[in-house]
Amino acid sequence: MQRNARTAFNQLKKSQIHVIDHGSRDANDGAHFLLGCEVTGDDRLPAGDYYLDDFGVRTLVSDILADNGLFAEWVNPAIIGVYDA
């Protein structure tokens, strides 16, 4: 994972956002890592919801990603991929 993506990943994890490290950019169409959008039953927060502002992505998530030169894009209704801006 590139340095900017690793920084964003760690910042999101510290913010209790549900982050998923799938190991390889090839594993998910070039995404650095994934964000979970379902309630998990633990302390992690879903990264997005279709009814949230900023295209369904939590503002905190969008801000952290933008600060690191990244953006979020929905992969399916439960997963957001993180890509280079």
Gyration radius of the chain over CA positions = 11
H/E segment holding residue 33: strand 33-36
Q: Report the alpha-carbon angle 18-76-55, nearest 5.
A: 75
Count of alpha carbons within 13 angstroms of residue 54, beta-carbon side: 14
Give the residue numbers spanning the domain of 33: 3-84
Residue 40: CA atoms inside 13 Å, Cβ hemisphere, count?
17
Per-residue confidence in pLDDT tens, the chain, 85 aa: 789 999 999 999 999 999 988 776 555 678 999 999 887 777 788 888 877 766 888 889 999 999 999 999 998 888 999 999 8
Q: How many domains does the chain have?
A: 1
